[in-house]
Amino acid sequence: MPRGSNHVKFIQNYIDGKFVAGQREFADVNPADGSVIGQVTEADRDVVDRAVQSARKALAGEWGRASVRERAARLRKVADTIESRFDCFVAAEVADTGKPISLAARLDVPRAAANFRAFADMISTSGIESFQTETADGKSALNYAVRKPLGVVGIITPWNLPLLLLTWKVAPALACGNAVVVKPSEETPATATLLAEVMERTGMPDGVYNVVHGFGPNSAGEFLTQHPDVNAVTFTGESQTGTAIMKTVASSVKPISFELGGKNAAIVFADCDFEDATAGIADAVFLNTGQVCLCAERVYVERGILDRFVSALKQRAEALRLGSPLDPATELGPLISKQHREKVVSYYSLAREEGANVVTGGGIPEFGNSLDNGFYIQPTIYTGLAESARCVKEEIFGPVCHIAPFDTEDEAVNMANNTKYGLAASIWTSNLKRGHRVAQQMNAGITWVNCWFLRDLRTPFGGMGLSGIGREGGMHSLNFYSELNNICIRL
Residues 80-139 that bind ligand 6OD (CB under 6 A): none
Distance CA 65, CA 73 (A): 14
User: What's the closest the beta carbon of residue 262 comes to ligand NAD, in angstroms?
Assistant: 5
Asked whether position 397 contacts ligand NAD by CB under 6 A, the answer is: yes
293 noted as active-site residue: yes
Whose CB is nearest to ligand NAD? 216
Strand order in the sheet with 256-259: 18-20, 13-15, 209-211, 179-183, 152-156, 232-236, 256-259, 468-469
> How many residues bind ligand 6OD, per CB under 6 A?
9
The span of 86-94, 187-195, 291-299, 436-444 binding ligand 6OD (CB under 6 A) equals: 291-299
The span of 101-109, 135-143, 181-189, 317-325 binding ligand NAD (CB under 6 A) equals: 181-189
Asked whether position 413 contacts ligand NAD by CB under 6 A, the answer is: no
Distant-in-sequence contacts of 483-486, Cβ < 8 A, 24+ apart? 483/147, 483/148, 483/149, 483/150, 484/129, 484/145, 484/146, 484/147, 484/148, 485/145, 485/146, 485/148, 486/129, 486/143, 486/144, 486/145
Q: Which of 43, 47, 281, 293 binds ligand 6OD (CB under 6 A)?
A: 293
Residue 448 touches which of ligand NAD, ligand 6OD, none (Cβ within 5-8 Å per kind)? none
Helix, strand, or coil here: 142? strand
**DSSP string spanning 324-377?**
-TTSTT--B---S-HHHHHHHHHHHHHHHHTT-EEEE--S----SSGGGGS---
Residues 306-365 that bind ligand NAD (CB under 6 A): none
Amino acid at 338: K
Asked whether position 53 contacts ligand NAD by CB under 6 A, the answer is: no
Asked whether position 88 contacts ligand NAD by CB under 6 A, the answer is: no
**Residue 203: CB atoms within 10 Å:** 8
Beta bridge partners of 351: none
Residue 241 touches which of ligand NAD, ligand 6OD, none (Cβ within 5-8 Å per kind)? ligand NAD
Our CB check for ligand NAD shows the closer of 95 and 301 to be 95
Amino acid at 218: N
Asked whether position 216 contacts ligand NAD by CB under 6 A, the answer is: yes
Asked whether position 176 contacts ligand 6OD by CB under 6 A, the answer is: no
Per the CB < 8 A criterion, the answer to whether 96 and 187 are in contact is: yes
Query: For 461, which DSSP code?
Result: B
Beta bridge partners of 301: 268, 405
**Residue 6: CB atoms within 10 Å:** 5
Tell me whether residue 86 is exposed, middle or buried, using C-beta atoms within 10 angstroms of its C-beta: 0 to 12, 13 to 18, 19 or more: middle
Our CB check for ligand NAD shows the closer of 8 and 244 to be 244
Asked whether position 22 contacts ligand NAD by CB under 6 A, the answer is: no
Q: Which of 383, 393, 336 is nearest to 358 (CA)?
A: 383
Distance CA 60, CA 155 (A): 20
Residue 463 touches which of ligand NAD, ligand 6OD, none (Cβ within 5-8 Å per kind)? ligand NAD
Residue 92 touches which of ligand 6OD, ligand NAD, none (Cβ within 5-8 Å per kind)? none
Our CB check for ligand 6OD shows the closer of 142 and 451 to be 451
Our CB check for ligand 6OD shows the closer of 163 and 371 to be 163
Distance CA 306, CA 270 (A): 9
Residue 222 touches which of ligand 6OD, ligand NAD, none (Cβ within 5-8 Å per kind)? ligand NAD
Asked whether position 161 contacts ligand 6OD by CB under 6 A, the answer is: yes
Residues 447-466 that bind ligand 6OD (CB under 6 A): 455, 461
CA 175 to chain centre: 19
Q: Which of 176, 272, 293, 401 is catalytic?
A: 293
Helix axes 86-97, 190-201, angle to 10 degrees: 160
Q: Which of 19, 168, 309, 481 binds ligand 6OD (CB under 6 A)?
A: 168
Our CB check for ligand 6OD shows the closer of 13 and 188 to be 188
Pairing outcome for strands 256-259 and 232-236: parallel
Q: Which of 259, 297, 302, 395 is catalytic?
A: 259
User: What's the closest the beta carbon of residue 423 comes to ligand 6OD, in angstroms?
Assistant: 8
Our CB check for ligand 6OD shows the closer of 207 and 290 to be 290
Distance CA 26, CA 417 (A): 41
88 noted as active-site residue: no
CA 53 to chain centre: 27
Helix, strand, or coil here: 139? coil
Asked whether position 466 contacts ligand NAD by CB under 6 A, the answer is: no
The span of 39-47, 159-167, 205-213, 361-369 binding ligand 6OD (CB under 6 A) equals: 159-167
Per the CB < 8 A criterion, the answer to whether 141 and 133 are in contact is: yes
> How many residues bind ligand NAD, per CB under 6 A?
31
Chain residues that interact with ligand 6OD, rule: CB under 6 A: 160-161, 165, 168, 292-294, 455, 461
Chain residues that interact with ligand NAD, rule: CB under 6 A: 156-160, 165, 183, 185-186, 215-217, 221-222, 225, 236-238, 241, 244-245, 259-262, 293, 395, 397, 423, 463, 468
Q: Active-site positions?
A: 259, 293
